[in-house]
């Protein structure tokens, strides 16, 4: 632990013990409470003490200053302390047995440390002062309050200890030591390790409060923690102390309240009650059968409690998780903390209802984006987007309120993700959420024309390959011009140049001719799927017809990495070198590669691949995410897997095989159509649509490739500018620019002044966003609407999703959460949260694909069909419900996954 003073707190008893009323006396809001001094629980209780009409049991707090003194005593008294603390803070992974052993030793040392006499006197004096304000004998609640708990981004609820009904000064002192020691409980240490929090930077305060003896107790959530709705409060109540509910020993009565009225009420069978014992501590008792179904609260008490909760939430400025006790028909509040699991709501400040669609679910990137990445995406897209939890959303409220526009929106998004229209229809059916009919509503999807739009909106295109090659050449030439013209630009001139060039990026992305090509290919795909199902009952033909199409830059990337493997495979020294580099996490392995036999050839092959595809990477729509060229080490698991698993020439062979299947499928389809009525017309229309798909569908991946290529050039230039700002002392590190918008970065470059506090605040917020799961649909009430695919005709226990690439396969599931550590063997079925283009090289070895996110036309679906991989997407919780290496059967045609023994 750090011996230095912390946040200006000096050693000495005046800073060791504080009355709760002294905490936050002059602070109006939660963000100003002294968490560093009294921990999360103490800070909140201090703030609660100053809210008019809120009853908080009297008490005091032993501050973190006292804790540091105790740690100094413990360290001086037992040499093992630092050794075991070092064990828990070493950078390499720590086994659970090490956590268990070292935590136990640290707890024993801290509990055995003698409390300094002056601190003992200060605590005894605080006890007497509370006694003087009370007419009755007092028992105490002694509660841990760590500096890393009850935070907006992590609650740490239940990680440290609480002791109830502690009687007498000596027992209070003993339990204070227990609370200090509980900072190193096994569960608390494990929780901090999982959340990346340094044990040396966490301190423990202890709250000592007058014990209350309630008739009932429980929790109040001022927002629904399940749906996320900020308009619904949830009350859970039981008899006696709240410990029976918190520890799950008994069921709770549950109330939902909206608009001052109870909308649902469930009275549970409360079989157990926790009461205080006369000699101290608590005891559990069975509730008499006749009383088990008595409500713990009256309806009037529930409404009054929710009103109190509303005042507390308003004070703290965020929804709260509140612990309460009912004493003589009045409520004592014993804790309030932020509800950390709620997904944030986009800020509008207009007081009206809004409905938002997730952009990340369509882009197959549901991770949070950093502010610089968000600002680039907002500058790139033609319509304004809303931001919440580090994710982007499209506001579709007015479109849903317009019957004319609504039909087009539901039809269009339904073709990509059939679940979305169902989710939006839930909101439409409420009848009172959307604004009145807005016939003048603007189309929310930018330059993407709605399905069913007038013919003029989607002028037909010729099925001529020259159209695609012209568009690609135009994009490629524009990127080359950017690369040349950005050279040498620095400072404000660089920022202004990028802002101007983004207009060229938008022109290429949303060029009418480019858009017509993409929509023509997609419409032809949908036409074939609909008609071949209707005419031939064939659910698989379309997927086969899209195998090995031309000009698909993303599928070419995966095949090109097979060619790199062909170059390296003949050189065993290079293969061993690359394996060693991966084991050692050698980020500079390319520099040393030429020293190995065959290394020059290998480096040149990797370099050629990076020249064409190195601007791509996981989460590539966020300009701040690492690219292959920046971290080529990420390629090695994929490259070594290709060397190990494939024979020479696999790339050309796989493409040729796909082409043969596509041609054979076309012949079969046309042959069967000739046996039908009106065969001549059916054959002609089908042949035309097949030609259109095979000519145009590959281009669909190119505009995004062009965008990512520009982003990489921008990023390299901006990081060069960041290096100059670091040298000048304006920024602490180059990646600080990731937490600024491009417009804010322009101001920093202009003024040579950066707001370090803002950057730190956004870093902390981003860490919190990473723990959140974004919904497909979000409302301004905070309601998160995800839904799940449902089927009545699947085997029991199967997982259901959206079928996006036909076929049925069996194999070993490989659950991959990080592509940098992925090892896929031929025949494995890849299971992951989502895929974007950077995952394509994994597809060449996989036998099938399962994702938690996706739709019919998202990246994973398109490339799975291109490679002939059966695929099911939108499988809720797939990475948790399917075990790594478990054998499964994937039904890509029907859309479900079976577990095999």
Secondary structure of residue 586 in the 3-state scheme? coil
Alpha-carbon span 748 to 897, nearest angstrom: 52
Q: What angle do CA 448, 452, 457 make, to 5 degrees?
A: 55
- Active-site residue 859, yes or no? yes
Alpha-carbon span 508 to 526, nearest angstrom: 25
Residue 408, Cβ neighbours under 10 Å: how many? 18
Can you read off the two tokens belonging to residue 484?
């040349």
Phi, psi of 867 (to 5 degrees): -90, -5
Question: Taking the chain, what is the end-to-end CA distance rounded to the nearest angstrom?
Answer: 51
Alpha-carbon span 206 to 438, nearest angstrom: 57
Alpha-carbon span 848 to 869, nearest angstrom: 5
Q: Which burial class, exposed, middle or buried, applies to 504 when counting CB atoms under 10 A from its CB (0-12, 13-18, 19+)? A: middle
Write down the residue that tokens 């042949």 correspond to. Answer: 687
Can you read off the two tokens belonging to residue 124?
């005894």
Write down the residue that tokens 């907006």 correspond to. Answer: 152
Alpha-carbon span 447 to 6, nearest angstrom: 54
Residues in contact with 487: Cβ distance below 8 Å, sequence separation at least 6, in sequence order: none
Residues in contact with 421: Cβ distance below 8 Å, sequence separation at least 6, in sequence order: 410, 411, 413, 414
What is the DSSP-derived secondary structure letter of residue 115? P
C-alpha neighbours within 13 Å on the C-beta side of residue 751: 9
Phi, psi of 464 (to 5 degrees): -115, 120
Task: Calculate the alpha carbon distances from 795 to 43, 241, 878, 900 in Å.
Answer: 53, 45, 17, 12
Instruction: Report helix angle 650-673 to 553-568, nearest 10.
Output: 140
Q: Indicate the length of the chain as a whole number.
A: 901
Single out the residue of 442, 443, 440 nearest to residue 451, CA to CA: 443
Residues in contact with 763: Cβ distance below 8 Å, sequence separation at least 6, in sequence order: 739
> Can you list the alpha helix ranges (DSSP code H) found in 614-678?
636-645, 650-673
Catalytic residue (one of 175, 515, 859, 891): 859
Residue 140, Cβ neighbours under 10 Å: how many? 25
Write down the residue that tokens 């004998």 correspond to. Answer: 137
Residue 147 near residue 40 (C-beta atoms within 8 A): yes
Beta-bridge partners for 320: 338
Alpha-carbon span 546 to 862, nearest angstrom: 9
DSSP codes, 675-717: TSTTHHHHHHHHHHHHHHHHHHGGGGGHHHHHHHHHHHHHHHH
Torsion sign over Cα 219, 224, 230, 231: negative
Residues with catalytic annotation?
Answer: 859
């Amino acid at each position: 632990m750090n011996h230095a003073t912390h946040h200006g707190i000096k050693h000495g008893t005046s800073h060791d013990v504080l009355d709760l009323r002294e905490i936050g006396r002059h602070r109006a809001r939660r963000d100003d409470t002294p968490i560093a001094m009294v921990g999360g629980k103490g800070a909140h209780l201090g703030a609660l003490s100053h809210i008019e009409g809120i009853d908080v049991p009297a008490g005091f707090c032993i501050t973190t200053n006292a804790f540091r003194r105790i740690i100094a005593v413990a360290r001086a008294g037992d040499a093992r302390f630092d050794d075991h603390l070092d064990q828990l803070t070493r950078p390499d992974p720590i086994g659970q047995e090490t956590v268990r052993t070292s935590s136990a030793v640290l707890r024993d040392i801290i509990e055995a440390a003698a409390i300094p006499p002056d601190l003992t006197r200060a605590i005894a004096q605080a006890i007497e002062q509370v006694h003087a304000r009370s007419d009755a004998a007092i028992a105490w609640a002694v509660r841990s309050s760590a500096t890393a708990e009850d935070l907006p981004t992590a609650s740490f609820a239940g990680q440290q200890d609480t002791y109830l009904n502690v009687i007498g000064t000596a027992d209070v002192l003993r339990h204070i030591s227990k609370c200090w020691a509980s900072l190193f409980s096994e569960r608390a240490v494990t929780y901090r390790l999982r959340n990346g929090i340094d044990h040396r930077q966490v301190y423990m305060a202890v709250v000592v409060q007058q014990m209350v003896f309630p008739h009932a107790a429980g929790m109040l959530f001022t927002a629904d923690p399940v749906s996320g709705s900020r308009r619904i409060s949830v009350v859970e109540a039981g008899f006696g102390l709240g410990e029976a509910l918190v520890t799950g020993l008994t069921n709770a009565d549950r109330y939902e309240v909206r608009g001052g009225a109870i909308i649902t009420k469930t009275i549970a069978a409360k079989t157990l009650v926790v009461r205080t014992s006369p000699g101290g501590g608590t005891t559990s008792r069975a509730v008499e059968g006749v009383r088990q179904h008595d409500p713990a609260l009256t309806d009037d008490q529930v409404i009054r409690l929710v009103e109190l909760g509303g005042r507390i939430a308003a004070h703290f400025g965020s929804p709260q998780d509140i612990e309460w006790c009912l004493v003589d028909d009045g409520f004592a509040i014993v804790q309030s903390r932020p509800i950390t699991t709620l997904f944030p709501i986009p800020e509008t400040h207009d007081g009206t209802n809004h409905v938002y669609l997730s952009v990340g679910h369509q882009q197959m990137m549901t991770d949070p984006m950093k502010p610089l990445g968000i600002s680039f995406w907002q500058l790139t897209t033609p319509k304004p987007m809303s931001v919440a939890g580090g994710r982007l959303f499209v506001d579709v409220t007015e479109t849903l309120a317009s019957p004319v526009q609504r039909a087009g929106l539901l039809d269009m998004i339904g073709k990509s993700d059939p679940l979305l229209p169902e989710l939006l229809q839930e909101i439409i059916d409420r009848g009172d959420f959307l604004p009145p009919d807005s016939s003048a509503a603007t189309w929310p999807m930018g330059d993407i024309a709605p399905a069913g739009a007038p013919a003029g909106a989607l002028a037909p295109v010729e099925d001529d390959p020259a159209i695609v090659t012209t568009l690609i050449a135009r994009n490629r030439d524009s990127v080359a011009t950017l690369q040349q013209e950005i050279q040498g630009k620095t400072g404000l001139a660089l920022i202004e140049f990028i802002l101007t060039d983004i207009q060229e990026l938008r022109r290429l992305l949303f060029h009418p001719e480019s858009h017509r090509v993409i929509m023509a290919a997609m419409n032809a795909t949908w036409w074939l799927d609909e008609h071949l199902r209707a005419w031939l009952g064939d659910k698989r033909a379309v997927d086969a017809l899209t195998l090995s199409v031309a000009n698909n830059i993303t599928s070419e990337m995966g095949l090109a990495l097979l060619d790199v493997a062909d170059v390296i495979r003949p050189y065993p020294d290079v293969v061993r070198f690359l394996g060693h580099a991966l084991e050692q996490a050698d980020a500079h392995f390319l520099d040393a590669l030429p020293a190995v036999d065959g290394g020059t050839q290998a480096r040149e092959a990797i370099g050629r691949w990076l020249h064409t595809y190195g601007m791509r990477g996981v989460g590539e729509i966020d300009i701040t995410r690492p690219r292959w060229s920046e971290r080529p080490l990420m390629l090695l698991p994929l490259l070594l897997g290709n060397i190990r698993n494939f024979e020479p020439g696999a790339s050309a062979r796989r493409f040729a095989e796909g082409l043969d299947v596509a041609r054979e499928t076309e012949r079969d389809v046309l042959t069967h159509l000739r046996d039908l009525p009106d065969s001549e017309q059916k054959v002609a229309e089908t042949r035309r649509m097949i030609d259109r798909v095979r000519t145009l569908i590959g281009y669909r991946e190119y505009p995004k490739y062009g965008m990512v290529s520009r982003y990489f050039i921008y990023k390299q230039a901006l990081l060069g500018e960041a290096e100059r700002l670091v040298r000048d002392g304006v920024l602490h590190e180059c990646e600080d620019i990731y937490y600024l918008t491009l417009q804010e970065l322009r101001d920093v470059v202009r003024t040579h002044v950066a707001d370090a506090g803002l950057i730190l605040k956004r870093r902390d917020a981003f860490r919190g966003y990473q723990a959140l799961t974004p919904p497909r649909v979000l409302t301004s009430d905070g309601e998160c609407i995800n839904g799940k695919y449902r089927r009545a005709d699947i085997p029991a226990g199967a997982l259901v999703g959206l079928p996006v690439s036909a076929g049925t396969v069996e194999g070993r599931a490989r659950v991959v959460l990080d592509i940098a550590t992925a090892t896929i063997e031929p025949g494995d079925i890849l299971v992951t949260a989502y895929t974007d283009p950077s995952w394509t090289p994994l597809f060449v070895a996989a036998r099938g694909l399962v994702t938690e996110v996706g739709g019919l036309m998202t990246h994973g679906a398109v490339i799975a069909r291109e490679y002939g991989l059966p695929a099911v997407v939108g499988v809720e919780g797939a990475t948790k419900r399917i075990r790594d290496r478990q054998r499964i059967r994937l039904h890509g045609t029907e859309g479900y996954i079976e577990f095999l023994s």
